[in-house]
Homo-oligomer: A and B are copies of this chain.
Amino acid sequence: MTAQPHPDTPLTREDCLALDAGDPLAGRRQLFHVPDGVIYLDGNSLGCLPLAAVEHVRRTLETEWGEGLIRSWTQAGWIDKPRRLGDRIGGLIGAAPGQVVVADSTSVNLFKVLTAALRLRPGRDVIVSEAGNFPTDLYIAEGVAELLGGYERRLVPEGSMDVAALIDERVAVVMLTHVNYVTAEMHDMAAVTRAAHDAGALVIWDLAHSAGALPVDLDGIDADFAVGCTYKYLNAGPGGPAYLYVAARLQDQARQPLTGWLGHARPFAFTTGYEPAPGIDRFICGTPPLLAYAALEGALDAFDGVDLAVLRAKSQSLTDLFIRLVEQECGEHGLALAGPRDRALRGSHVSWRHPEGYAIMQALIARGVIGDFRAPDALRFGFTPLYLSHADVWDAVAVLRDVLDNRLWDDPAYQRRAKVT
């Protein structure tokens, strides 16, 4: 990317095209199906369809299942997919092989790693998280605390990022989402992990809004556990299978309670007693949904050869540009930036608060600019560096300006039913 023009000069669409001309990732867009007439700023909820996913799913469906049938468990390598795809995701989150498996949903994986972590810290009774964490993380912590009894959920209040202040010797686990799902503000993973370890606690990182948009270095920061979904920036499709990371040094001590047969040391010996598999495999539970894995496989192909530093730079370029253009073009309409202005602290989405946020988002969607709304008042826009251009950002802001200038959000014709992520 070339540098953005001087901040005192109003930007033009030509400036955006110039940025695209210097974009080393521009060619990746052709690996995706981006619908005509749509500027898709919701890849942080559900990424666009990678064309390779179509081919992988077709092969798994028609050839591996249709022709190979049960033989495909070995002949098509189905039995190895949780580990093999886990290692590929590991390459995007700084995890050496053998520490990531693809399995279940993020929520189920949170349950596994949280119970495993708590059992590694007997005598401690506090789970630290933050009120602004994504709800499922908070709900799983509540469910685990209620099930096991005697645990307290201690939450950083909304608006604060000061986790370290809550960590003391009662804390068993610190459980955080790296990039906040509304504001995109990022925790300093290394610093929080260090603070937790200094107090004898373990850390669980939720990488839902990180993986595929920016580099993460789990091994480098001495992480303990992590989870994430694949349907956001990893583009694996609706309800794509989730993953989890357990640091190699913890795997053989860690016990998770979803003791399904595929986490057994010898699943095909059909014994009556459970014996956890060595290593990361014990975090697998039931039979994996292989059609979903096939889509993930195609989705990961789109990352082959991508330099994550370049990916991050483009993501920052897009979000910087979006903030600047919204303020330049829509400055008088009372949109309040909900997250950090410092690109170093920001993930790959940008939210603006507005009292009519819901109606404005419906009008935008009706005009083909797809973002999403997060209660109570946030318009959220995600920027997937693999398939978005700077010109897309310009065009989206032009529509936003039109909606705001002409109060289209007040027009019944633009009201649509709420969508969900």
* Partner-B contacts on A (CB < 8 A): 33, 35, 38, 40, 42, 45-46, 48-49, 53-54, 57, 60-62, 64-67, 69-75, 78-79, 104-108, 111, 115, 131, 134-136, 138-140, 142-144, 146-148, 155, 229, 231, 237-242, 255, 257-262, 264, 267-274, 285-293, 295, 365, 370, 372, 374-375, 417-421
15 A-B contacts (beta carbon < 8 Å): A33-B67, A35-B66, A35-B67, A38-B69, A46-B70, A57-B61, A71-B365, A72-B238, A75-B419, A108-B108, A140-B260, A142-B274, A239-B287, A269-B375, A289-B292
Across the interface, which residues of B come within 8 angstroms of A143, CB to CB?
Answer: 257-259, 274
Report Cα–Cα, A57/B61, bound state, in Å. Answer: 9
Report Cα–Cα, A262/B287, bound state, in Å. Answer: 21
B259, A70: Cβ atoms under 8 Å? no
Across the interface, which residues of B come within 8 angstroms of A107, CB to CB?
Answer: 258-262, 285-286
B108, A104: Cβ atoms under 8 Å? yes
Name the residue in A38, A62, A273, A274 with the highest tally of chain B Cβ atoms < 10 Å from its Cβ. A274
Q: With A48-B69, A419-B70, A419-B71 as known contacts, state yes or no: A111 contacts B258, CB within 8 Å.
A: yes
A135, B270: Cβ atoms under 8 Å? yes
Name the residue in A70, A239, A418 with the highest tally of chain B Cβ atoms < 10 Å from its Cβ. A70
* Chain B: minimal CB distance from A96 (Å): 27
Across the interface, which residues of B come within 8 angstroms of A135, CB to CB?
Answer: 261, 264, 267, 270-272
B259, A142: Cβ atoms under 8 Å? yes
Across the interface, which residues of B come within 8 angstroms of A108, CB to CB?
Answer: 104, 108, 258, 260, 285-286
Report Cα–Cα, A46/B79, bound state, in Å. Answer: 14
* Chain B: minimal CB distance from A112 (Å): 10
Given contacts A238-B289, A241-B289, 17 further A-B contacts (CB under 8 A): A35-B69, A42-B70, A46-B70, A48-B69, A61-B237, A71-B370, A73-B420, A108-B285, A108-B286, A139-B273, A140-B259, A237-B291, A238-B287, A238-B290, A238-B291, A239-B289, A239-B292
